[in-house]
Amino acid sequence: MKYGQLGKTGIEVSRLCVGCLSFGQPFSDSHMWTLNPEETETIVRKALDLGFTFFDTANTYSHGTSEEYLGRAIKNSVSRDKVILATKVYFNEGHLSKKAIQREIDGSLKRLNTDYVDLYIIHRFDRTTPIEETMEALDGLVKCGKVRALGASAMYGYQFYSMQVAAERNGWTKFCSMQNHYNLLYREDEREIIPLCKQEGVALTPFSPLAAGRLARVEWKSDSPRSQMDRTASQKYDGTQETDYEIVRRVHETAEKHGATMTQVAIAWHMAKGMTAPIIGATKAKYLEDAAGALELSLSAEDIAYLEEPYQPHKVVGLKTDDDPK
């Protein structure tokens, strides 16, 4: 495993992050392909063995049970100060109001069984709450020690910039990371949010680096429970399958060229693009092993150009506040 800094915070994280969307109880209005507590602990222990130190969850993943299962697994497996825990707030009553933020952080801390979280991320931009109210409330969490650093996720560049400006003008804590939707099949964030973050020294921790598995196999879909039931992924990717499949084919071709897996090529591309820590969601230990191997693969400029060449502009997805939580 390799390690890097989380923006300008001085917090060290593994260059791959374990996504915990699949941890928790199954719910028909959330996710049905979840892992129980024992399966969650198996994944967490394997991740730790591989050198992963960075874990990402959210207050609403599986109605809070993702945080519960992750907190339990961490307590049973490793000293708290050896890992970086990130969780999120937004898809809850009150969104990013001061009252909601103060209520939700306490709930997350209780479920995670910890006194603090290392990274507290706003899951979306809140159009209903004044920016100043949100940023002051978040800064208060840092000042009282419940949160070490702040991050944001899935928003337009101007929204992110406006929040950073509000924090800077008032002497409040700024965001150190951006969790955006980015992969070889969806590169719209190259237009504004990624250049902005690089300019400002903000860490990039993209979600869905494998496009919900579509960049990890030759077949567009598999017979796994998630592939069959993940409506959100289908909405994001299946409408452009006809034009995007050429990219999948080239990932496979590049993998064969390097004696690597498709997963490793797709993640190595992220590393070449300057990402800090792509988020890897895994329901089996072998998927984490596969992903970790990407850090040993170096793609040439010719490889990258070949993988990117077929891309066509896509409709922006994942930023509207009525989307499901991811």
pLDDT confidence of residue 320:
58
User: Quick one: pLDDT at residue 11?
Assistant: 98
Q: How many CB atoms lie within 10 A of CB 21?
A: 23
**Is a pLDDT exceeding 70 seen at residue 228?**
no
Query: Mean of the pLDDT values across residues 46-73?
Result: 98
Q: What is the pLDDT of residue 154?
A: 97
* CA 66 distance to own-chain centroid: 14
User: What φ, ψ does residue 96 adopt, rounded to 5°?
Assistant: -115, 30
| CB-CB contact of 44 with 52 (8 Å) | no
Residue 166: half-sphere exposure toward Cβ, Cα within 13 Å: 17
Does residue 163 carry a pLDDT above 70? yes
- Catalytic-residue membership of 61: yes
Q: How far apart are CA 268 and CA 187, in angstroms?
A: 15
**Which is more confident, 89 or 231?**
89
What confidence tier does 323 reach under pLDDT thresholds 50, 70, 90? very low
DSSP designation for 251: H
Selected from 3.40.50.720, 3.50.50.60, 3.20.20.100, 1.10.150.50, the CATH number assigned to the domain covering 3-215+273-283 reads: 3.20.20.100
Residue 116: exposure state from Cβ atoms within 10 A (0-12, 13-18, ≥19):
middle
What is the average per-residue pLDDT within 249-259?
Answer: 98
pLDDT tens digits, 271-297: 999 999 999 999 999 999 999 999 999
Average pLDDT over residues 134-147: 98
Q: What are phi and psi of 180, to 5 degrees?
A: -115, 165
In this structure, are residues 288 and 18 in contact, taking their beta carbons and an 8 Å threshold? yes
Average pLDDT over residues 128-155: 98
- Catalytic residue, candidates 3, 61, 69, 237: 61
Nearest Cα to Cα of residue 43 among 303, 313, 298, 282 = 282
**Average pLDDT across the chain, whole number:** 95
Q: Out of 128-132, 209-213, 225-229, pick the least confident.
A: 225-229
Helix (H) / strand (E) containing 176: strand 175-179
pLDDT at 31 over 90: no
Yes or no: say if 275 and 269 are a contact pair by the CB < 8 Å rule.
no
Rounded distance between C-alpha atoms, residue 301 and residue 313, angstroms: 21
Once rounded to an integer, what is the mean pLDDT over residues 77-84?
98
**DSSP secondary structure letter of residue 6:** -
pLDDT given at position 29:
79
**Percent residues over pLDDT 70 in the chain:** 96
Answer whether residue 39 shows pLDDT above 80: yes
Does position 139 have pLDDT exceeding 80, yes or no?
yes
pLDDT band at residue 227 using 50, 70 and 90 as cut-offs = low
33/247: higher pLDDT: 247
Cite the DSSP H helix spans in the chain. 37-50, 65-77, 98-112, 131-143, 157-170, 193-200, 225-229, 231-237, 241-258, 262-272, 285-292, 301-308
What are the pLDDT digits (tens) for 201-216? Answer: 999 999 999 999 999 9
Amino acid at 173: T
| Percent of the chain with pLDDT strictly greater than 90 | 89
Per-residue model confidence (pLDDT) at position 231: 77
Cα-Cα-Cα-Cα dihedral sign, residues 119, 120, 122, 123? positive
Structural tokens at position 123: 């899951």
Categorize the per-residue pLDDT at 30 as very low, low, confident or very high, splitting at 50, 70 and 90: confident
Mean pLDDT along residues 218-228: 77
Enter the pTM of the model. Answer: 0.95
More confident call, 122 vs 222: 122
Report in angstroms the alpha-carbon separations of 81 from 53, 54, 152: 10, 11, 23
Question: Is the predicted pLDDT of residue 84 greater than 80, yes or no?
Answer: yes
pLDDT of residue 107: 98
Closest to 48 (Cα-Cα) out of 26, 8, 76, 9: 76
- State how far the Cα of 320 lies from the Cα of 324, in Å rounded to an integer: 9
- pLDDT mean over 158-181: 98
Calpha distance 38→117 (Å, rounded): 23
